Chain A
Amino acid sequence: MNDLFNSFMSGPDEQGRFGIFGGRFVSETLMPLILSLEEEYDRAKDDPSFWAEMEDLWTHYVGRPSPLYYAERLTQHLGGAKVYLKRDELNHTGAHKINNVLGQIILARRMGKTRIIAETGAGQHGVATATVCAKFGLKCVVYMGAHDVERQAPNVFRMRLLGAEVIPVTSGRGTLKDAMNDALRDWVTNVRDTFYCIGTVAGPHPYPAMVRDFQSIIGKEAKEQMMAAEGRLPDTIIAAIGGGSNAMGLFHPFLDDKEVRIIGVEAGGKGVNEKMEHCASLTGGRPGVLHGNRTYLLQDDDGQILEGYSISAGLDYPGIGPEHSWLHEVGRAEYVAITDAEALEAFQLCCATEGIIPALEPCHALAHVMKIVPDLPADHIICMNMCGRGDKDVQTVAKHLGFDMSDTEGRRAG
């Protein structure tokens, strides 16, 4: 099945490229570190004791495997294809992010690094990193855009409770991309003792491949669970995309199952138009180089990077992992965009029909599920990655739906 020449699973190449995407576009100071990280990761990947440690923690600390859940009432409500949710929102810390963090922190420990830095948008990756650092007694510094510090206040407090230092980033426009810039600046300054724990399938090689490998546990489990539940693979798999890690984790084990349709959902914000009030890098961007890799980016005609916009802080990134750019260009996966309004509608439907309060990020995937399911036959099976829970988002949702959370009658604000 994994015919090397026809496989979609053999990337990246020696240069860290998926087609023309990926690579190692970093300053010389970081280059030796990235090479040694690659070496260390290659060693760990083939070391059964590394995976034994991961699996032990995945089982006892994270709570894996996450269930594959048949969303019966949602399916009935939509009246078409059968919808399964891969419940990664049930993980410790409430999202898929911890799958990857565990892998990187174990690697950091093997490399003798004592100080961990991370960037975060919604705060989920920051919380996961702070959590695992607390568990292992490592110093943790999280860079977070000043704007996100405001809109994700509960996560900021959680990180601080967990002993992390949260640094609000005001450089540039103070968003996730600026947090990543500042994390890279920290790394260049503290190369000798510091490990940069990147939260998505972006950055210089080997990060996109490494983060994907750690997140692939999602797709591997989903595949087995689907076989157990239905005796066959799903017809469609679908996930939301910020940088693309939960999506890559679900997609990767299915890439060579060519009968499985793969859909990635980007944040369409207020609509994918020339005003760029969205974060749909594939739908509305073009190839460029940022944060160590070549990939689709939101940028102006002069190659200056644009700020994205999305209701969801976790999707608010002007780039996307390079492997997605490649899958897009070779046509193995499709990418669509969902607006804020559509995601909010999905949020409410999920609460009402399934008793699950989802994070705003997977609501984008769910909104697309809502769009396509009614036109699909009842024997069509969809598997969607429910990659995060919505506790962190209730304030944002209340605001957008016009509710005043302090009103005891639950009335909408005047």
Chain B
Amino acid sequence: MTRIDAKFAALKAEGKKAFVAYVMAGDPDFDRSLELVRGLPGAGVDVIELGLPFTDPMADGPTIQLAGQRALETGMTLDRTLELARLFRQGDDETPIVMMGYYNPIYSRGVDRFLEQAKAAGIDGLIIVDLPPEEDDELCLPAQKAGLNFIRLATPTTDDKRLPKVLQNTSGFVYYVSITGITGAAEAEATDVGPEVARIKAATDLPVIVGFGINTPEKSRTIASVADGAVVGSAIVGRIGSGAPVAEVLDFVKSLADAAHSA
């Protein structure tokens, strides 16, 4: 059982929805990023998605692109991202960390070495946007074997025929992408999302968490109410980008988390 599995079991026992926050590792710089990540559990975050900066984030909108650029400009690397996770882990052995990013920095490191290092740093799961089930041999299967969850994205274009394939080697939770599009672009609508979540839940026992297009506490609550939880990324990252102090960002995160938890 990973920290992710444990967390969702606990939430389920409490009858609570999950709130997941995405932040980019090293944005706006290493120290403030660490301070922010350390503050997330206190603000009510159940699962932390830690972005691994990449030069070519093809599924991300401008907000997260810029966050990645800021991080890279301050010298963020895969090693520093793992270091950030490790420092966080020293003070928190419970909150799951999911590393979210693109395959090339991991491939460049070497999959086996990366998995060893990620595990040692206290990473619990991976979301790698450009690895669909067709490429499971690359990282998904080795990751599961190494004891990390591999969380898959399901999207509005994942039809019933394809869904079993997407769910097959998924673990931890299923991340439903509420829109066809990039991060931070359109707004998720609970009326569209509800039936889709139901469709996925009929095919899996894993929790289904919804992300993309959630940007306010109200959205966080309405989307969480039709799923097992909500993810917010761009709305948080955008505040970091506009220079808000860490405490202010955490206040905003708390309002999103409280809203999801009230669903």
Q: Which residues of A contact B (CB under 8 A)?
A: 15, 23-33, 171-172, 177-178, 181, 184-185, 188-192, 288-292, 294, 297, 299, 301-305
Q: Which of B62, B108, B134, B152 contacts A303 (CB 8 A)?
A: B108
* A27/B153 in contact, CB under 8 A: yes
Of B52-60, B195-203, B224-232, the one with at least 4 CB within 8 A of chain A: B52-60
Across-interface contacts of A172 in B (CB, < 8 A): 55-56, 65, 69
Is B169 an interface position by the 8 A CB rule?
Answer: no
What is the CB-to-nearest-CB distance from A334 to chain B, in angstroms, rounded to a whole number? 26
Asked if A292 meets B130 with Cβ closer than 8 Å, knowing A25-B103, A185-B182, A303-B109, the reply is yes
Across-interface contacts of B155 in A (CB, < 8 A): 27-29
Q: With the chains together, A181 CA to B77 CA distance in Å?
A: 21
11 contacts between A and B (CB under 8 A): A26-B132, A27-B153, A28-B177, A29-B156, A185-B60, A188-B58, A189-B181, A289-B102, A299-B108, A301-B108, A303-B54
Interface of A is mostly: mixed
Q: With the chains together, A27 CA to B129 CA distance in Å?
A: 5
Asked if A304 meets B54 with Cβ closer than 8 Å, knowing A189-B180, A289-B107, the reply is yes
What are the 3 closest A-B residue pairs judged by CB atoms, nearest first?
A303-B108, A303-B105, A189-B181
Across-interface contacts of A24 in B (CB, < 8 A): 132, 134-135
Across-interface contacts of A30 in B (CB, < 8 A): 157
Across-interface contacts of A185 in B (CB, < 8 A): 58-61, 182
Is B23 an interface position by the 8 A CB rule?
Answer: no
* B132/A177 in contact, CB under 8 A: no
Per-residue CB contact flags for chain B residues 62-92 toward chain A (1 = under 8 Å, else 0) read: 1001000100100001110000000000000
* A28/B158 in contact, CB under 8 A: yes
Q: Which residues of B contact A (CB under 8 A)?
A: 54-62, 65, 69, 72, 77-79, 102-109, 129-135, 152-159, 162, 166, 177, 180-182, 185-186
Asked if A291 meets B103 with Cβ closer than 8 Å, knowing A25-B135, A28-B154, A31-B134, the reply is no
Asked if A191 meets B180 with Cβ closer than 8 Å, knowing A27-B132, A32-B158, the reply is yes
Q: Name B159's closest neighbour in chain A (CB-CB).
A: A32
Across-interface contacts of A26 in B (CB, < 8 A): 130, 132
Q: With the chains together, A292 CA to B129 CA distance in Å?
A: 11
* A289/B58 in contact, CB under 8 A: no
Q: With the chains together, A32 CA to B106 CA distance in Å?
A: 25
* A29/B104 in contact, CB under 8 A: no
Q: Name A171's closest neighbour in chain B (CB-CB).
A: B65
* A184/B58 in contact, CB under 8 A: yes
Q: Which of A15, A188, A192, A288 contacts B104 (CB 8 A)?
A: A288
Q: With the chains together, A27 CA to B108 CA distance in Å?
A: 19
What is the CB-to-nearest-CB distance from A385 to chain B, in angstroms, rounded to a whole number? 29
User: Which of A178, A188, A190, A191 has the most chain B CB within a 10 Å cutoff?
Assistant: A188
* B61/A290 in contact, CB under 8 A: no
Asked if A302 meets B154 with Cβ closer than 8 Å, knowing A26-B130, A172-B55, A189-B180, the reply is no
Q: With the chains together, A172 CA to B130 CA distance in Å?
A: 18
* B58/A291 in contact, CB under 8 A: yes
* A289/B130 in contact, CB under 8 A: yes
* B157/A29 in contact, CB under 8 A: yes
* B135/A290 in contact, CB under 8 A: no
* A191/B65 in contact, CB under 8 A: no
Across-interface contacts of B154 in A (CB, < 8 A): 28
Across-interface contacts of A299 in B (CB, < 8 A): 104, 108
Asked if A305 meets B107 with Cβ closer than 8 Å, knowing A24-B134, A24-B135, the reply is no
* B61/A304 in contact, CB under 8 A: no
What is the CB-to-nearest-CB distance from B190 to chain A, in angstroms, rounded to a whole number? 20
Q: With the chains together, A163 CA to B72 CA distance in Å?
A: 38
Q: Name A307's closest neighbour in chain B (CB-CB).
A: B55
What is the CB-to-nearest-CB distance from B112 to chain A, in angstroms, rounded to a whole number? 15
User: Which of B56, B62, B107, B133 has the most chain A CB within a 10 Å cutoff?
Assistant: B56
